[in-house]
Amino acid sequence: MLLHIPDVLTKEELARCCSVLEAASWGDGKVTAGQQSARAKNNLQLPLNHPEHRELAELILRALGRNVLFNSAVIPLRVVPPLFNRYDVGMEFRAHVDNAVRPVPDSGGLRIRTDVSSTLFLTDPDEYDGGELVIYDESGTREVKLPAGDMIVYDTTVLHSVQPVTRGSRWASFFWTQSMVREDSQRRLLFDFDQRIMDLRSRLPDDDVAVLGLVNVYHNLMRQWCDL
């Protein structure tokens, strides 16, 4: 899955994020990297103990909670609180794979399986050169560079990288989600099914027999495939 979700943040939420990050003291991004990834990683990150990190993380979690497309595609069970990174000129993150399991900060030892990765862009493409998120999957190599406030969602199983920034500064939030549906092919089927149901509901009443029948099938599949 590689899904572009537009307008995750409102203009006001985006402005608040950028205001905090503009004034922040950034730390080394290697802090949250695994042993292998740390050797490929050269960027900055908002420290977890930054006084306003929790505020920004909760802002993004609220935005995710109301986003129909994210919830339909990802079917989230748990989300690691969002992190924030920055790539200035010369910084990059060479090809790497994310850890399969990650701890949830301040959770008393809770860990999650990382099924889905998300990058929420906080700077517009005209503010920097380079910095493309590159996804390497069965379809080939794809470069992603989205407007501020837009998000890309992709399976955590794929290799990915961030190209070197050659002008300006690239800011983003990134996080991982454990889905209620472990298998990515099943998530894709459920997402396609749900999108077709929503399209049908835009043209037929909710009590139409065809709508009710498809909704029933969707939820029966969820009962079979969900892992809670």
C-alpha 53: how far from its chain's center?
Answer: 17
pLDDT at 28: 84
**4 annotated binding-site participant:** no
pLDDT at 109: 84
Domain locations in the chain as residue ranges: 2-179, 184-225
pLDDT at 160: 96
Q: In whole angstroms, what is the distance from residue 150 CA to residue 121 CA?
A: 6
**126 annotated binding-site participant:** no
Q: In whole angstroms, what is the distance from residue 17 CA to residue 60 CA?
A: 9
Q: Which of 71, 91, 87 is nearest to 79 (CA)?
A: 71
What dihedral do alpha carbons 135, 83, 96, 78 form, nearest 10°?
Answer: -80
pLDDT at 32: 66
**Full pLDDT tens readout for the chain, 228 residues:** 899 999 999 999 999 999 999 999 998 877 766 566 667 788 999 998 888 999 999 999 999 999 999 999 999 999 999 999 999 999 999 999 899 999 988 778 899 999 999 999 999 999 999 999 999 988 889 999 999 999 999 999 999 999 999 999 999 999 999 999 999 999 999 999 999 999 999 999 999 999 999 999 999 999 999 998
Q: In whole angstroms, what is the distance from residue 176 CA to residue 116 CA?
A: 6
pTM of the entire structure? 0.93
pLDDT at 150: 98
Residue type, 53: H
Q: Identify whether the C-beta of residue 121 lies closer than 8 Å to the C-beta of residue 172.
A: yes
Q: Which of 76, 14, 22, 85 is nearest to 48 (CA)?
A: 85
Q: In whole angstroms, what is the distance from residue 198 CA to residue 178 CA?
A: 24
Domain 2-179 is in which class?
A: mainly beta
**160 annotated binding-site participant:** yes
Residue with tokens 């990915």: 160
Q: In whole angstroms, what is the distance from residue 120 CA to residue 60 CA?
A: 9
**155 annotated binding-site participant:** no
Q: Which of 117, 121, 120, 151 is nearest to 137 (CA)?
A: 117
What dihedral do alpha carbons 139, 198, 212, 192 form, nearest 10°?
Answer: 0
